[in-house]
A = this chain, B = another copy of it.
Amino acid sequence: MKIAQIAPLAERCPPRLYGGTERIVSYLTEELVRLGHDVTLFASGDSRTKAKLVPCCDMALRLNPSVRDPLPYHMLMLEQVRRCADEFDVLHFHIDLMHYPLAASLGRMVTTLHGRLDLPDLPPFYAAFPRYPLVSISDSQRRPLAFANWAATVHHGLPEDLLPFSANPKEGYLAFLGRISPEKRPDRAIEIAARAGMKLKIAAKIDKADEAYWDGTIRPMLASHPNVEFVGEINEHDKATFLGEASALLFPIDWPEPFGLVMIEAMACGTPVIAFRNGSVPEVIDERVSGFIVSNVDEAAAAARRVDLIDRAEVRAAFEERFTAERMARDYLDVYRGLEGGLPGVMRPPARVGNGIDLEAMA
């Protein structure tokens, strides 16, 4: 197929450091190329890809100090997409909703929503656009917009050889990997390790917005918990060792995480995941196969003590079966082919969703 992938411009594809959406767009793009498809990637000019790259700005916007407003660059990207839209069998958007006014003049298109959807601005928007197909990254993510035109859920996937399987984690610590932020709950991770009597390593970045939380909550906890080691932000290369040498990953989230990439990164290393029941967790973790799903700190500490019950080879097998980039790409190809028969079935939106707009009446 001739496929266009339209990525956000905040980070390059793949990102240098952080940037979940651009990372997934990159994995998907490279895998579609590997499977023999003709792929064009609309992304920042410093992206690296085996697809055809259409550069939509010189460098990723978040790292460019002269950029004040990302909107003009995304509008420019949409104009570039519009001018050659006819050349593609399908256009796959990853930029939330900026392309919607243009959608009527495009051919077959689908949009993956990568973020959380429980924001009050979104129901009136998607109610007004019932015709354009959406992909969720977990079933859980859909809940606030259950009425929207969902074509599929496609879970994220990683290149199979990105993170090597680690059969015997010599160090045997608990691992926390992500951001130091209240919804990721590193405080819970520290409590879990203390109750389990185990060592914890925290590899995390501290965003400007979370500095008060770091100074007021987490740093004092570190001072009083000598079993916890804070290793700071780590790069992609160090991730394999950090996750592979852990006896389990702690994922004690306190928010409806739409996917949670770090869970499948751990699984790729064979490392079981101890995750709080929230968001996508029950869809990603198979209880007692790839980890334990828990509801509180006590359950998590008990799970940490029982982690040897999990066969690390089975964790890796679960990753290979369900969370490779190839599986993700094949799922998306099914979605693309499903669009060939025209737009998928249109669900009627609620007559009025919290907003004075009635586009149907204008149609």
A121, B80: Cβ atoms under 8 Å? no
Interface residues of A in 32-63 (CB under 8 A from B): 45, 55-58
B57, A75: Cβ atoms under 8 Å? no
A68, B102: Cβ atoms under 8 Å? no
B75, A97: Cβ atoms under 8 Å? yes
- Chain B contacts of A57 at CB under 8 A? 124, 355-357
Given contacts A67-B120, A79-B100, A363-B83, contact A72 B356 (CB under 8 A): no
Q: How distant is the Cα of A58 from the Cα of B121 in the complex, in angstroms?
A: 12
- Chain B contacts of A317 at CB under 8 A? none
A362, B69: Cβ atoms under 8 Å? no
Chain A, interface size category, equals: 35 or more
Given contacts A57-B355, A84-B362, contact A67 B121 (CB under 8 A): yes
- Chain B contacts of A122 at CB under 8 A? 72
Give the nearest-CB partner of A78 in chain B: B101
B356, A45: Cβ atoms under 8 Å? yes
Does A82 belong to the interface (CB within 8 Å)? yes
User: Looking at the complex, which one of B66, B82, B354, B362 makes contact with A120 (CB distance below 8 Å)?
Assistant: B66
Counting every copy of the chain, the complex holds 2
Q: How distant is the Cα of A355 from the Cα of B58 in the complex, in angstroms?
A: 6
- Chain B contacts of A83 at CB under 8 A? 359, 362-363
- Chain B contacts of A82 at CB under 8 A? 101, 104
A72, B101: Cβ atoms under 8 Å? no
A72, B362: Cβ atoms under 8 Å? no
Does A129 belong to the interface (CB within 8 Å)? yes
- Chain B contacts of A69 at CB under 8 A? 119, 121
Q: How distant is the Cα of A192 from the Cα of B79 in the complex, in angstroms?
A: 50
Query: Nearest Cβ distance between residue A234 and chain B, in whole angstroms?
Result: 31
Q: How distant is the Cα of A183 from the Cα of B102 in the complex, in angstroms?
A: 38
Query: Nearest Cβ distance between residue A96 and chain B, in whole angstroms?
Result: 8
Does A98 belong to the interface (CB within 8 Å)? yes
Q: How distant is the Cα of A356 from the Cα of B121 in the complex, in angstroms?
A: 33
Give the nearest-CB partner of A100 in chain B: B75
A98, B75: Cβ atoms under 8 Å? yes
- Chain B contacts of A101 at CB under 8 A? 75, 78-79, 82, 99, 101-102
- Chain B contacts of A68 at CB under 8 A? 119-121
Query: Nearest Cβ distance between residue A33 and chain B, in whole angstroms?
Result: 21
Q: How distant is the Cα of A129 from the Cα of B75 in the complex, in angstroms?
A: 11
Q: How distant is the Cα of A55 from the Cα of B128 in the complex, in angstroms?
A: 14
- Chain B contacts of A17 at CB under 8 A? none
Q: How distant is the Cα of A141 from the Cα of B82 in the complex, in angstroms?
A: 30
13 more A-B residue pairs beyond the given contacts A69-B119, A69-B121, A83-B359, with a C-beta to C-beta distance below 8 A: A55-B356, A56-B357, A57-B355, A68-B121, A71-B97, A75-B98, A75-B125, A76-B124, A78-B101, A83-B363, A99-B101, A101-B102, A102-B102
For this complex, 17 residue pairs linking A to B, each with C-beta atoms less than 8 Å apart, are A57-B356, A58-B356, A69-B119, A71-B97, A72-B97, A72-B125, A73-B124, A73-B125, A75-B97, A75-B98, A75-B100, A76-B125, A76-B128, A79-B128, A79-B129, A80-B357, A102-B102
Interface residues of A (CB under 8 A from B): 45, 55-58, 66-69, 71-73, 75-76, 78-80, 82-84, 97-102, 104-105, 119-122, 124-125, 128-129, 354-357, 359, 362-363
The 9 closest A-B pairs by CB, nearest first: A78-B101, A72-B125, A45-B356, A58-B356, A66-B120, A55-B356, A72-B121, A101-B102, A69-B121
